[in-house]
Amino acid sequence: MNVILLCVIVILASFLATRLRSNVRRTSELQQIRSKLGKIMESHSRERLLHMTRDSELQALMTGINELLESNLKVSAEHARTQIASRKMLANVSHDLRTPLTVVLGYAETLHMCPPIEENERNELLAKLFNKTKEAIQLIDTFFDLAKLESDDVDIPLSRINVSESCRLSILQFHEQIEDCGLEVSLNIPPGDKHALGNNDALKRVLDNLISNALRYGADGGIIGLTLREEEGFILIEVWDRGKGIEKAHQDRVFERLYTLDDSRNKKIQGSGLGLAIARRLAEGMGGSIELISMPYMRTVFSLRLKKFNLRNS
């Protein structure tokens, strides 16, 4: 009996000693991991935890920590990018509002400070003053519209819409500008009417933004096109040009609010940087999408995809 008890005591002692050594080793490894993690966090480096161990729990722990480090790095990068974009946005807003308001101030000062002027000249100045004031108000309204869209504060009721008719009316609306630019028009709208699930007002604004964007940036290609066709379950509208296009690095960003290409600060082709952001929000509000593919001086195309209308949509 004493021998058995002695054996049990030896076994328990051996087990406890093993557990103690294991705990000491694990504590040491945890301290090393914690120290390494602290250095990584302090330096904000892309380094990851690497510690050789046979402990499967510690291996799983380090895997989880490395995933968190990767996620934190992405969040930090996105935060930095957002800050840069916000600063650029504020600069663009200031620039875009300052321009018409400065002109308005100049006209107002002229009318106020100058001695009596001829009625025709006064009327001309007042007309210019009115147009520039209207331009500033439209820009402010555009900012407001985008803010409402981004906060989901805009109701976009969906119904059966005639996409073919909307495309014809939209391109016709730009007829004078297209002629002034000396552009050829390629209009490919099949006979008959194509119907989609959407909203007429939203579709008109999307098309207006896409066409005006093509005129602003693609006029050097000498042609602007609009193509309407069906895909399985969808109606696809393509607005395209053969201008200098948009570099690949910019293609994913042109739909961001107030993101403008460098030469968009040129007064001849200046835009607010909001049109495409609004177009994408409206397309998404109709359950659709917008995509961009650009090959310089070959084909730059914005594709609007809407769900084809059928009885199940009603």
Q: What are phi and psi of 254, to 5 degrees?
A: -65, -20
What is the structure's pLDDT at 264?
Answer: 43
- DSSP run (H or E) holding 156: none
What is the structure's pLDDT at 108?
Answer: 82
Distance set, CA 176 to CA 85, 170, 189, 215, 278 (Å): 35, 12, 20, 12, 24
The candidate with the shortest Cα–Cα distance to 235, out of 308, 174, 167, 127, is 308
Domain 77-150 has CATH 1.10.287.130: yes
What is the structure's pLDDT at 196?
Answer: 94
Residues of the chain with pLDDT under 70: 1-26, 29-30, 43, 49-54, 58, 85-86, 88-93, 95-96, 115, 150, 257-273, 311-314
Query: How deeply is 61 buried, as exposed, middle or buried, from its count of CB atoms within 10 A (0-12, 13-18, 19+)?
Result: middle
Structure tokens at 73: 């790095």
Q: Which residue ranges make up each domain of the chain?
A: 77-150, 160-313
What is the structure's pLDDT at 227?
Answer: 95
What is the structure's pLDDT at 19?
Answer: 58
Rounded distance between C-alpha atoms, residue 264 and residue 217, angstroms: 8
| 49 in Cβ contact with 36 (< 8 Å) | yes
Structure tokens at 156: 């976009």
- Which fold would CATH assign to domain 160-313? Heat Shock Protein 90 (3.30.565)
What is the structure's pLDDT at 307?
Answer: 94
What is the structure's pLDDT at 266?
Answer: 41
CB atoms within 10 A of CB 97: 16
What is the structure's pLDDT at 76?
Answer: 78
User: In this structure, which amino acid lies at residue 21?
Assistant: R
What is the structure's pLDDT at 131?
Answer: 82
pLDDT tens-digit map of 279-303 = 898 999 999 999 999 988 889 999 9
The candidate with the shortest Cα–Cα distance to 226, out of 185, 277, 273, 272, is 185
The verdict on pTM exceeding 0.75 is no
Rounded distance between C-alpha atoms, residue 195 and residue 307, angstroms: 9
Structure tokens at 180: 């002034």
Rounded distance between C-alpha atoms, residue 248 and residue 292, angstroms: 10
The tokens 């051996």 sit on which residue? 14
What is the structure's pLDDT at 265?
Answer: 38
| 141 in Cβ contact with 272 (< 8 Å) | no
Find the Cα–Cα–Cα–Cα dihedral 196, 201, 205, 211, rounded to 10°: 50
What is the structure's pLDDT at 151?
Answer: 72
Under 8 Å CB-to-CB from 77, ≥6 apart: which residues?
none
